[in-house]
Structure 1
Amino acid sequence: MRYDTPVYFQKVTPGEYDPDTGNYGDDTVKETLRYASVMNTGEEKLRLVYDGPKQGSLTVQIQKHYEEPFDRIRVGKKLYRVDFSRKLRTKHTLIVSEVQ
C-alpha cells in the first residue's frame, strides 16, 4: 500500500463581522498536509456506511492517527466530509464523501 497521495486536513475559521459595512469577512482556511493511501470505497463498505451506493466516496488511510480538529478534507481540488472514522493501532482509516 502506497502512501503517496497528498491529503489536506482543513480547519475553517469564519470571517469576523464588520459593523461598519454590515458584512462578514472572508473565511480563513488552515490546511495540514498528510500523505495517504486513497482508494475508491468498495460496494460492501458503501452498504454498511451509507445503506446503499453513494457516488464520490473514498477510503483514505494515513499511517499515524490524526488528532487535531478539522472540518473537512481536500484531495486534489475536491472537498470531502468524513462519514466514518476508525483508528487502528498505527493507522487511521476515514471513509469520506464529496461535498457539493
Structure 2
Amino acid sequence: MRYDTPIFFRAVTPGDYDESTGNYEDDSIIETMVMASVMDTQTETMKLVYGDIRQGSLTLTIQNHCDQTFDNIRIGDKVYRVDRTRRLRVKQSFIVSEVQ
C-alpha cells in the first residue's frame, strides 16, 4: 500500500455577520495535509455502505489516526464527505463520496 496522495482534512468556520453592511463575511477554511493511500471503493463495500453502486466513491487509508475534527476532505480540486470511517490499530480508513 502506497501512501503517495496528499489529502486535506478541512475544517470550515462560517463567516461572522457584519451589522454595518448586513452581509456575512467569507467562511474560513483550515486545511491539514496528510499523505494517504487512495483507491476506488470495491463493489461489495459500496453495496454494504450505500445499498447500491455509487460513482465517485473512494477508499482512503492513512497511517496513524486522525484525532482532529473536520467537516470534509479535499483531494486535488474535489471535495468529499466521509460516509464511513474505521479505526484500526495503527491506521484509519475512510469511505468517502464526492460532494456536488
The answer for the alignment partner of 1:84 in structure 2 is 84
What percentage of aligned pairs have identical amino acids?
A: 58
1:13 — aligned with what? 13
Shift in Å, 1:90: 0.3
Deviations 1:28-75 (A, max 9, x none): 000000000000001000000000011111000001100000000000
Q: Structure 1 length normalisation: TM-score?
A: 0.99
Distance 1:52 1:5 in 2: 27
1:3 equivalent in alignment to 2:24: no
Match of 1:36, SS? strand
What is the RMSD of the two structures over their aligned residues, measured on CA atoms?
0.4
| Structural mapping, 1:47-58, within 5 Å | 47-58=47-58
Once residues 17 and 58 of structure 2 are traced to their aligned partners in structure 1, the CA distance between those partners, rounded to angstroms, is 36
SS in 1 for 2:8: strand
Q: How high is the TM-score relative to the length of structure 2?
A: 0.99
- SS of the aligned residue for 2:90 comes to coil
1:35 maps to a residue whose letter is M
Alpha-carbon distance in 2 for matches of 1:92, 1:36:
10
Moved over 3 A (4+): none
Matches of 1:57 and 1:75 in 2, distance apart? 12
Report SS of the residue matched to 1:48.
helix
